Amino acid sequence: MKIALAQLNYHIGNFEANTKKIIETIQAAKQKGADLVVFAELAICGYPPRDFLEFDDFISLCDQAAHEIAAHCVGIACIVGLPIKNDIPQGKDLFNAAYFIEDGKIKSTVKKALLPTYDVFDEYRYFEPATDFKCINFRGKKIALTICEDLWNINDNPLYVSNPMDELIKEQPDMMINIAASPFSYTHDDERIQVLGDNAKKYNLPVFYVNQVGAQTEIIFDGGSLVFDADGAMKAEMKYFEEDLQVFDLEEILNVRNKYPKMERLTDIEQIHDALVLGIKDYFGKSGFKQAVLGLSGGIDSAVVCALACSALGAENVMAVLMPSQYSSDHSVQDALDLANNIGCKHEIIAIKDVAEQFDHILAPAFKGLPFDLAEENIQARIRGIINMAMSNKFGYILLNTSNKSECAVGYGTLYGDMCGAIGVIGDVYKTQVFELARFINKEREIIPVNTIVKPPSAELRPDQKDSDSLPEYDVLDTILYQHIEKKQGSKAIIAQGFDEALVRRILKMVNIAEFKRYQTPPILRVSPKAFGMGRRMPIVGKYMA
């Protein structure tokens, strides 16, 4: 038996495009000699559909698409994920399910049992968990088909009280097939390989795993579909951040148990880079947008975002707006110009000194002679936000936000100023990682000026300002933030690692009191195990300080 894994990029709610892509892939798999082609979790509607699932018409369109797909499954079978109705009144109205289709008909239905409701997942909001488990018979073989999380309850701290495979193994299946929508983080590929290999070893069965690829707003799927033999040895690893279709011979997987040559792993920064480029590309492509605008300050954050956007959209589709103030240094303006010239994007220079002075003039009576402070600094940032949005409105550009995770964490940014935008490109990338990204972008030639990378970071909103005037050095700050955000460590645990107590408490207080700002920021492309946004939900007015 030959099994094709179809790793595709779906578009949530775009039934026409998804169905067409699935049907074309069925035909391609058939031409490659496949007997069975396997698609991802909720492939027909795209993942995660969220509250689209509450519309009856949405579910009906899924069903119509499934029957259209079934008509093309002649001479080849397929497995495809979709939401289906729960006919029993008790419980949720839907199941997260998969159809097994053969000879033009839906022959079997498998329902997901373990419904993740943590981090970016919210499946129990919509779906009823399965309680019945049966293998699928196909061409003399028994398939234990599971959906994503159903294979993840295999560690020292299980989230669920049961395992679907513990029931399916009683029917003595010949293989496991798992269809998934497994979001990217730069640590997740290694975890995925470990979990799937452990399943293969535990049940002594080969595993065929297919993941989707592509970005859905802030969530990015990296692909990386996998095949393991019954010893838990990885036999195949499909492309990352790209669509892919590969065919595997079951008999070879069952009987030729040799170690798969380990492919070279991407570094964390390489993964983050590729994920962000894909995230920008799909955000624009799936939304029908073509051109981006961003403020280019001469600093490293905007330089990295500009370079990523040009990779994703083409330099001709990126507008960089330089908005120097009276506090902008000559070298910052030159650094921004050098980047625009190096990369070939469009640019405009719109000075804000006169506008800022007009604000000073009209606010002088109300400010009653009080000294220059944060108010005047934020006015400059908001002037820049207005200019960026004016360019967006006038020319149809979509504004990219350039705030990094370190700034987002401690509230080092101006609401309605540098924190505005349609999508946060590096809001899940710590400042120290931004420097690594810049060096990676420059690996073949200088795109980001060296001076941008080596100079001390500054918002340049007052004379001789540096980020270190308000924040700890970024290598220290980011280490503490990582322990608190990704590792969920409170102040006592972090202090016990040797960090200064006053510094730790100051940083964690900044994180907590900045929550109201993060509620008003754009969606942030998720690349870490714990990103701001839907994956980290904190109360704004809570008193608890970790």
Nearest to 195 by CA among 155, 150, 143: 155
Rounded Cα gap, residues 510 and 53, in angstroms: 38
Nearest to 11 by CA among 221, 196, 261, 323: 221
407 annotated binding-site participant: yes
Rounded Cα gap, residues 197 and 262, in angstroms: 14
297 annotated binding-site participant: yes
Rounded Cα gap, residues 257 and 242, in angstroms: 28
Among candidate residues 41, 149, 218, 377, the one labeled active-site is 41
Pairing of strands 175-180, 207-211: parallel
Q: Say whether 41 is catalytic.
A: yes
298 annotated binding-site participant: yes
Task: Find tokens 């009191």 and name the residue.
Answer: 513
182 annotated binding-site participant: yes
DSSP states of 20-69 as a string? HHHHHHHHHHHHTT-SEEE--TTTTT-S--GGGGG-HHHHHHHHHHHHHH
Rounded Cα gap, residues 433 and 405, in angstroms: 10
Q: Say whether 112 is catalytic.
A: yes
Among candidate residues 21, 111, 112, 281, the one labeled active-site is 112
Rounded Cα gap, residues 278 and 275, in angstroms: 5
Nearest to 114 by CA among 164, 80, 155: 164
Nearest to 163 by CA among 192, 189, 199, 194: 199
288 annotated binding-site participant: no
Contact 234, 226 (CB under 8 A): yes
Nearest to 99 by CA among 75, 81, 76, 74: 81
46 annotated binding-site participant: no
Nearest to 458 by CA among 513, 351, 377: 377
299 annotated binding-site participant: yes
Task: Find tokens 């003399």 and name the residue.
Answer: 140
Among candidate residues 78, 135, 148, 306, the one labeled active-site is 148
Kindly report whether the peptide bond that precedes residue 48 is cis, defined as omega within 30 degrees of 0. Answer: yes
Long-range contacts of 326-331 (CB under 8 A, 24+ apart): 326/353, 326/356, 327/380, 327/460, 327/461, 327/462, 327/463, 327/465, 328/297, 328/298, 328/460, 329/298, 329/460, 331/298, 331/451, 331/455
378 annotated binding-site participant: yes
Binding region for ATP: 295-302, 402
Binding region for L-glutamine: 118, 182
Binding region for deamido-NAD(+): 378, 407, 517
Binding region: 118, 182, 295-302, 378, 402, 407, 517
Catalytic positions are 41, 112, 148
